[in-house]
Chain A
C-alpha cells in the first residue's frame, strides 16, 4: 500500500571512508533517503530511492554512487524496439523534430 515501488535492485552506494558529512545529499534528496550521523551520512531509506542521481552528482567527495536514469517504462520500451539509449520522448530529440535554434 502507498506510493512504493520495487527498489530491490537500487544501485545507490555510499563509501563511508570518503564521506565528510557535508549534508549535501540530504539537501537534494526529494525522498529523505539519508540521515546525518555523527561523522558521516547514512543510507536510511534505500527503499525510497528513485535513482535520480542528485546526491551523487552533488557529492563533493564522490562518496556516493548510483546508476541514475529515468524510471519510465516508455524509455525502456523505446530502447528495446528502436535500439539506442534508454531515453523517453521528453528528450532533446524533440529539438530535431521542431528546431528552435
Chain B
C-alpha cells in the first residue's frame, strides 16, 4: 500500500490528481519493505509519494493527520488507524523518519504550508485543525503555520499506537508525550549499527592487524582471530545497545573501551592467546569498540548535542591513543618474536 516514489512520479512536485486511497492493511510486500528498512537494504528507496491520502472514507469533518514519506512512518500511522477514516497529509521528508527530518527541517513549516496549499486542503475539510506527530515539533513553528494557512496545529502523541486513544479523547496523557528507548527499540537498530560500523574507515583499518596476526600464526588457528575480531565488533554494535541502561557512567565511548578490552580478556582465558597477543589486542579492541559505541549516540532518544560535543573532545584522542598503543605493541611483539 502507498505509492512508491520514483523519479517519474510527481512525488516531489505538485499533486494534480485526487487524493490517493489507502487502507490500514499491512501486506506481505509492506512487511518485506519494513524488514528492508531495518536491515538497511535500499533504505533510501523506501519512500512513499508525498501528498494527500484518504484513509477509509473521510469527509469534510474527518481529522487531518500529518506524517513523513518514509515507508515505516507512513505504514505505522495507517496501521494504527484501523477502522478510522482520516486524511493523511504526507510531507516530503526524503524518505526519512519524522523526528530526524524535523531536526533537519525537511519536516518543516515551509514544507507543511506548501503541501496544505498544493493539496487544496481548505476545500477538502471544513475544520481548520491539523494533527502532527509530537516528534515533528523540532521542525515546525506551530503559530507560523496558523498565520500562513489558517490551520491550527495540534501535536499528537509520540507513538502512533496512541493515536486511536488521542483521537477518541482529544487529549494527550503525560505518558503519550514521553519517548522511550526499550530493549526492543534498541535491538531493532543493531543491524544498521553493524552496517554503519563496517563502513567506517576506522574499522577497516583496525581489521588489518587482526588479519595479519591471523596469517602469521598458523592457518589452523585463524578462526580464533576471526571470532576475536567479529566478537569485538558485535560487542560494540549489539551487546552495548542491549546493556545500555546498565552502565554506571554516562560516556558511551568509555563503555565501549571497557567492553572491548573485557571481551579480549575473556576470550584469552578460553583460547591459546599469548599474553603478548592479549595485551596488544586489548588495546586495539578498546579503541575499535569505543568508537562503535560512541557512534550509537546518533541512534538513541536521549543524547544531547552539547554532551556529544563534550565527549568527542576526550573520546577521539583517547581512542586514537589506545588503538595506536595496541598496534605498536603488536608490531613490537611481532618483530621481537621473529628476530629473537
- Give chain A's interface residues, CB within 8 Å of chain B: 1-11, 24, 26-32, 48-54, 57-58, 60, 67-77, 80, 86-88, 90-92, 94-95, 98-101
Q: Which residues of A contact B106 (CB under 8 A)?
A: 92
Interface pick from B24-32, B135-143, B218-226, B281-289: B135-143
Closest A residue to B142 by CB, please name it. Answer: A58
Closest A residue to B199 by CB, please name it. Answer: A89
Q: Which of B128-146 contact A (CB under 8 A)?
A: 134-135, 137-143
Q: How far is the CA of A27 from the CA of B131 in the complex (A)?
A: 13
Q: Which of B103-148 contact A (CB under 8 A)?
A: 103-104, 106, 134-135, 137-143
Nearest-CB distance from B113 to chain A (Å)?
Answer: 15
Please pick, from A1, A11, A24, A74, the residue contacting B295 in the complex, using a CB distance under 8 A.
Answer: A74
Counted as pairs of residues, one from A and one from B, with CB atoms less than 8 Å apart, the total is: 164
Given contacts A3-B245, A50-B304, A88-B298, 20 further A-B pairs with CB under 8 A are A5-B304, A6-B250, A9-B307, A10-B306, A30-B135, A31-B178, A32-B177, A54-B137, A57-B139, A58-B137, A68-B103, A70-B298, A71-B297, A74-B196, A75-B308, A77-B316, A90-B104, A91-B104, A92-B104, A92-B106
**Is B137 a contact of A32 with CB atoms below 8 Å?**
no
Nearest-CB distance from B305 to chain A (Å)?
Answer: 4
Number of B residues whose C-beta is below 8 Å from A?
Answer: 61
Please pick, from B5, B137, B310, the residue contacting A8 in the complex, using a CB distance under 8 A.
Answer: B310
Q: Which residues of B contact A99 (CB under 8 A)?
A: 7
What are the interface flags for B237-253 relative to A under an 8 Å C-beta threshold, 1 for contact and 0 otherwise?
00000001111101110
Nearest-CB distance from B131 to chain A (Å)?
Answer: 12
Nearest-CB distance from A41 to chain B (Å)?
Answer: 14
**Is B11 a contact of A32 with CB atoms below 8 Å?**
no
Known: A27-B155, A77-B312, A90-B96. A100 touches B47 (CB 8 A): yes
Nearest-CB distance from A82 to chain B (Å)?
Answer: 12
- Give chain B's interface residues, CB within 8 Å of chain A: 5, 7, 11-13, 44-45, 47, 94-96, 100, 102-104, 106, 134-135, 137-143, 155, 158, 172, 174, 177-179, 181, 196, 244-248, 250-252, 294-295, 297-298, 300-312, 315-316
**Is B295 a contact of A67 with CB atoms below 8 Å?**
no
Q: Which residues of B contact A31 (CB under 8 A)?
A: 178-179, 302
**Is A72 a contact of B308 with CB atoms below 8 Å?**
yes
Nearest-CB distance from B227 to chain A (Å)?
Answer: 27
Nearest-CB distance from A32 to chain B (Å)?
Answer: 6
Please pick, from B44, B102, B141, B305, the residue contacting A67 in the complex, using a CB distance under 8 A.
Answer: B305
Closest B residue to A30 by CB, please name it. Answer: B179
Please pick, from A29, A52, A73, A91, the residue contacting B308 in the complex, using a CB distance under 8 A.
Answer: A73
Q: Which residues of B contact A10 (CB under 8 A)?
A: 304, 306-307
